[in-house]
Chains A and B, each alone.
Chain A
Amino acid sequence: EDKVVQSPLSLVVHEGDTVTLNCSYEVTNFRSLLWYKQEKKAPTFLFMLTSSGIEKKSGRLSSILDKKELSSILNITATQTGDSAIYLCAVAAQGGSEKLVFGKGTKLTVNP
Chain B
Amino acid sequence: DTAVSQTPKYLVTQMGNDKSIKCEQNLGHDTMYWYKQDSKKFLKIMFSYNNKELIINETVPNRFSPKSPDKAHLNLHINSLELGDSAVYFCASSDWGASSGYTFGSGTRLTVV
Where the two chains meet, the residues of A that have a C-beta atom closer than 8 Å to any C-beta of B are 31-32, 34, 38, 41-45, 48, 50, 86, 88, 90, 92, 97-102, 104-105, 107
Q: Is the beta-carbon distance between B43 and A43 smaller than 8 angstroms?
A: yes
List of B residues within 8 angstroms of A104 by Cβ? 40-42
Q: How far is the CB of B107 from chain A (nearest CB, A)?
A: 6
Q: A100-B45, A102-B42 are in contact. Are A34 and B55 (CB under 8 A)?
A: no
Chain B 75-99, CB-CB to A under 8 Å as 1, else 0, gives: 0000000000000001000101111
Considering the complex, give the chain A residue whose CB is closest to the CB of B35. Answer: A102
Q: Is the beta-carbon distance between A41 and B98 smaller than 8 angstroms?
A: no
The DSSP consensus for interface residues of chain A is strand
Q: Is the beta-carbon distance between B31 and A98 smaller than 8 angstroms?
A: yes
Chain B 27-52, CB-CB to A under 8 Å as 1, else 0, gives: 00001010000001111110010100
Q: Is the beta-carbon distance between A41 and B106 smaller than 8 angstroms?
A: yes
Considering the complex, give the chain A residue whose CB is closest to the CB of B45. Answer: A99
Any A CB within 8 A of the CB of B62: no
Any A CB within 8 A of the CB of B2: no
Any A CB within 8 A of the CB of B8: no
Q: Is the beta-carbon distance between B42 and A99 smaller than 8 angstroms?
A: no
Interface residues on B, range: 20 to 34
Q: How far is the CB of A70 from chain B (nearest CB, A)?
A: 16
Considering the complex, give the chain A residue whose CB is closest to the CB of B97. Answer: A98
Considering the complex, give the chain B residue whose CB is closest to the CB of A100. Answer: B98
List of B residues within 8 angstroms of A86 by Cβ? 41
A44-B105 Cα distance, complex, nearest whole Å: 10
Chain B 45-70, CB-CB to A under 8 Å as 1, else 0, gives: 10010100001100000000000000
A18-B102 Cα distance, complex, nearest whole Å: 28
Q: How far is the CB of A104 from chain B (nearest CB, A)?
A: 5
Q: How far is the CB of B10 from chain A (nearest CB, A)?
A: 12
Q: Is the beta-carbon distance between B99 and A31 smaller than 8 angstroms?
A: yes
Considering the complex, give the chain A residue whose CB is closest to the CB of B33. Answer: A99
For B41, give its contact among A38, A48, A50, A97 (CB under 8 Å): A38
A-B contact pairs, 22 of them (CB 8 A): A31-B97, A31-B99, A34-B101, A38-B41, A42-B90, A42-B104, A42-B105, A42-B107, A43-B102, A43-B104, A44-B104, A48-B99, A48-B101, A92-B97, A92-B99, A98-B55, A99-B33, A99-B48, A102-B42, A102-B44, A104-B40, A105-B41
